[in-house]
Chain A
């Protein structure tokens, strides 16, 4: 299809409080961007596979976010829903350069 990857600046490291999510919409994508306790950034689709809960508002613990709707536990690293529930959300690559946060799309 010949699509080229784009790096889109969405925030700066300083603007992102730890263990909280930020809603980022890029075109038709709604993305939940997280700044984890260990300093890493992760981006996943902002929709829970269960009933479409907005994951960006969930409680973040380690590498996981708990959906605020019905408490599904979802990895922000690979998007996998943790047992006993099933499913997967899309993940996006994040790049940090000179204190700026980019989502690669």
Chain B
């Protein structure tokens, strides 16, 4: 089947947007051809103001580059103007001597800037402000000339004037009315705007009619109707636009001010449609992109043969793109017999607000100085809200986030691109977006004028909301990189990276040496991934783990020998007492984890303290298994049904020393009285008659969390097997420094339960854990036996007082 031929005349914002919509609905239906007079691919005309003001460059305002046309099989004839349409034979003719047949034809010829019919309007140095060439011309002129005059104190004129100021020119703005932006603002707001812009350096001639532009071939100045003259080397005319309808008119397509279209953008001739600034709908011609995009959507459905909603016109809203000035206007703005207003004028802060009410409904608004309410007001105007609704919203001083939460899914957030709240929310949810930029590239929201950026931010916040911790995984591991934990781990595995510096280099860290967050994290991930080969980097360890003792606030250390399951004996107690005496230990304390802590040991004494103790390191400092707290259990307690001490010791001996993302605490109680507090441990075991219950994800710290029942098993061997799988799964999937309580919530208890419940996975997890456990050594012993480590890490240099005469 041959494709139908669709031709678009006008490679501008409205027309191409409509093609994009068609591509979304039925990419295969048409063979598309586009004609554009301008030599550029489709660009964002709105941004010309920002180009002139220096906020962006011409290169950056392309919406669809040449590749887009190629990739979508669109034939583009740029720099070519369509001169005639044969509406009977359905053929168009261009000034490039081209003849193209069409089945469907869209006219989107935009408008042409209105040039005042005065003497001298054709002199060199007079320009409109409509396209890239105009913009380049102004930039070029500003290099060698000082004085610019802008005729027209509307939106476009003021944006041009601001740009020319930025380009280093002196700027006079000539405006026919008595105040600025008289179409969008009332006199109060217009005067406030004038004052603000004067303070930025603009000079105004209000109530002035330009009669003549004088000079030889080049512009020299302007003469007003009252005889006054000013000098100027550059004159920008920004007095309005008129729909570009010449082609349509010549081809017999019915026109009035613009090309007349119905609610489906159909012209009076079959198979010919019009959208954009060239179209006249219900006697309205629109000059802003938001309505044009709405039209484009309606037309796209029409052309794809879908029964879509009709276009019923748009409420116009305006924002001035001049930095330091916040102006907003929408809907009707002038009071009359029937339309009343609520006004707030704060001369001190320079803010003004006027809300228009017609028949008890919000019908328009003007904001100056503070435009935070603009989106809210616009949506009320659009839905014809009762005045009471506005008053309630106004008094409760709602946060912006709750404002977006009150919006319905159909409400438009990005007017320019017609993106609704629902579109954004579903994109965030389905594609896991977390930043405004991602939303922008995914939904087009805030791609044009950017005015809705704050709202998009609010929606992100609202949508991610409580799940923000869930989205933590998408956060980069620190400011040295944009990569997330998962990405880093995947890259380490894939590229077989073996060294923290290597990871930083290969993965493009933006610091050469990392920071106190990524260095320990990378060191952990590398060790987790290559348990046997990886050589732990001491310099990437936090001091406690580097020195295997707890640093105290005065720079001394505390030493905690291991007492498996909290059980000790007279021999150990004697040794501890002797060491405490010998090294003048400042404090001896039984800790919450059932051990004895010796406080106040100097760094250089640590190795000999350990040697004298001759006990294993208790790891009171590590990101590893700290203690297994146990209750008294069956041998002594009258309630005990199981050997909690025995199991606690077995667990501690089996899992000690292995590195985990954060500290891990365990406990074993022999009955549900739970004297070992198993309910708030990373892993808690509770004995019941003939079985053990295993709880996970508990925490007794700042964020108290009760552990959840993972399973119930019969034997202590099974407890050890489950615990091994659980620890290894945590080691492999948690973020560095993420406690199990947070990890369980992020990953989901059920997901973890499913992994550990899977026999095969459980075996594999235990195998990997055993491999990691196999290479671990008792650190205190290692240090006592190594002079090199002692000098490198523990020795202090002491030079006695020196004479200094």
- A residues lining the B interface (CB < 8 Å): 3-4, 6, 8, 10-11, 15, 17-20, 22-28, 33, 37, 46, 51-54, 57-62, 66, 68-69, 71, 73
- Which B499-541 residues have C-beta < 8 A from chain A? 511-516, 519-520, 538-541
Please give, as numbers and ranges, the residues of chain A lying within 8 Å of B570 by CB-CB distance: none
The answer to whether B791 and A61 touch across the interface, beta carbons within 8 angstroms, is no
Please give, as numbers and ranges, the residues of chain B lying within 8 Å of A68 by CB-CB distance: 542-543, 551
Q: A24-B797, A27-B802, A53-B555 are in contact. Are A15 and B512 (CB under 8 A)?
A: no
Please give, as numbers and ranges, the residues of chain B lying within 8 Å of A15 by CB-CB distance: 791-792
The answer to whether B516 and A61 touch across the interface, beta carbons within 8 angstroms, is yes
Q: Please name the residue on chain B nearest to A61 by beta carbon.
A: B513
The answer to whether B514 and A27 touch across the interface, beta carbons within 8 angstroms, is no
- Say yes or no for B799: interface residue by CB 8 A criterion: yes
Bound together, the chains give a CA A37 to CA B499 distance in angstroms of 14
CB distance from A16 to the nearest CB of B (A): 8
Bound together, the chains give a CA A68 to CA B545 distance in angstroms of 12
The answer to whether A61 and B796 touch across the interface, beta carbons within 8 angstroms, is no
Closest 6 CB pairs of A and B: A66-B516, A54-B555, A19-B539, A57-B543, A62-B513, A61-B513
- Say yes or no for B24: interface residue by CB 8 A criterion: no
Partner of B793, one of A20, A51, A62: A20
The answer to whether A25 and B555 touch across the interface, beta carbons within 8 angstroms, is no
Partner of B804, one of A3, A24, A25: A3
The answer to whether A8 and B551 touch across the interface, beta carbons within 8 angstroms, is no
- Say yes or no for B798: interface residue by CB 8 A criterion: yes
- Say yes or no for B603: interface residue by CB 8 A criterion: yes
Partner of A51, one of B539, B553, B792: B553
Please give, as numbers and ranges, the residues of chain B lying within 8 Å of A17 by CB-CB distance: 538-539, 792-793
Partner of B796, one of A20, A25, A51, A71: A25
Partner of A6, one of B516, B555, B798, B804: B804
The answer to whether A61 and B797 touch across the interface, beta carbons within 8 angstroms, is no
Please give, as numbers and ranges, the residues of chain A lying within 8 Å of B539 by CB-CB distance: 17-20, 59-60
- B residues lining the A interface (CB < 8 Å): 511-516, 519-520, 538-543, 546-547, 551, 553-555, 603, 791-793, 795-802, 804
The answer to whether A57 and B804 touch across the interface, beta carbons within 8 angstroms, is no
Bound together, the chains give a CA A23 to CA B804 distance in angstroms of 22
Q: A6-B804, A20-B792, A54-B555 are in contact. Are A61 and B515 (CB under 8 A)?
A: yes
Please give, as numbers and ranges, the residues of chain B lying within 8 Å of A4 by CB-CB distance: 804
Partner of B516, one of A10, A51, A59: A59
Q: List 6 A-B contacts (CB under 8 A).
A: A17-B539, A17-B793, A22-B796, A25-B796, A52-B553, A59-B540
Please give, as numbers and ranges, the residues of chain A lying within 8 Å of B796 by CB-CB distance: 22-25
CB distance from B500 to the nearest CB of A (A): 10
Partner of A28, one of B512, B603, B801: B801
The answer to whether B799 and A57 touch across the interface, beta carbons within 8 angstroms, is no
The answer to whether B797 and A22 touch across the interface, beta carbons within 8 angstroms, is yes
The answer to whether B797 and A23 touch across the interface, beta carbons within 8 angstroms, is yes
Please give, as numbers and ranges, the residues of chain B lying within 8 Å of A19 by CB-CB distance: 539
The answer to whether B802 and A8 touch across the interface, beta carbons within 8 angstroms, is yes
Bound together, the chains give a CA A28 to CA B802 distance in angstroms of 10
Bound together, the chains give a CA A98 to CA B796 distance in angstroms of 22
Bound together, the chains give a CA A88 to CA B796 distance in angstroms of 24
In the complex, besides A60-B513, A61-B511, 19 extra interface pairs with C-beta distance below 8 angstroms are A8-B802, A10-B799, A15-B791, A17-B539, A17-B792, A20-B792, A22-B797, A23-B603, A24-B796, A25-B798, A26-B799, A26-B802, A27-B801, A27-B802, A52-B554, A54-B551, A57-B551, A59-B520, A71-B516
The answer to whether B543 and A58 touch across the interface, beta carbons within 8 angstroms, is yes
Q: Please name the residue on chain A nearest to B800 by beta carbon.
A: A27
Please give, as numbers and ranges, the residues of chain B lying within 8 Å of A52 by CB-CB distance: 553-555
Q: A20-B792, A37-B513, A51-B553 are in contact. Are A59 and B799 (CB under 8 A)?
A: no
CB distance from A95 to the nearest CB of B (A): 15
Please give, as numbers and ranges, the residues of chain B lying within 8 Å of A66 by CB-CB distance: 515-516
Q: Please name the residue on chain A nearest to B793 by beta carbon.
A: A20
CB distance from A29 to the nearest CB of B (A): 9
Bound together, the chains give a CA A99 to CA B603 distance in angstroms of 26
Bound together, the chains give a CA A18 to CA B603 distance in angstroms of 19
Bound together, the chains give a CA A75 to CA B500 distance in angstroms of 22
CB distance from B795 to the nearest CB of A (A): 8
CB distance from A84 to the nearest CB of B (A): 13
CB distance from B551 to the nearest CB of A (A): 6
Q: Please name the residue on chain A nearest to B512 by beta carbon.
A: A62
Please give, as numbers and ranges, the residues of chain B lying within 8 Å of A61 by CB-CB distance: 511, 513-516, 519
Partner of A20, one of B519, B538, B553: B538
The answer to whether A11 and B540 touch across the interface, beta carbons within 8 angstroms, is no
Please give, as numbers and ranges, the residues of chain A lying within 8 Å of B797 by CB-CB distance: 10-11, 22-25, 33
Q: Please name the residue on chain B nearest to A51 by beta carbon.
A: B553
The answer to whether B540 and A6 touch across the interface, beta carbons within 8 angstroms, is no
CB distance from B58 to the nearest CB of A (A): 36
CB distance from B516 to the nearest CB of A (A): 4
Please give, as numbers and ranges, the residues of chain B lying within 8 Å of A18 by CB-CB distance: 539
Q: Please name the residue on chain A nearest to B504 by beta carbon.
A: A61
Please give, as numbers and ranges, the residues of chain A lying within 8 Å of B538 by CB-CB distance: 17, 20
Please give, as numbers and ranges, the residues of chain B lying within 8 Å of A6 by CB-CB distance: 802, 804
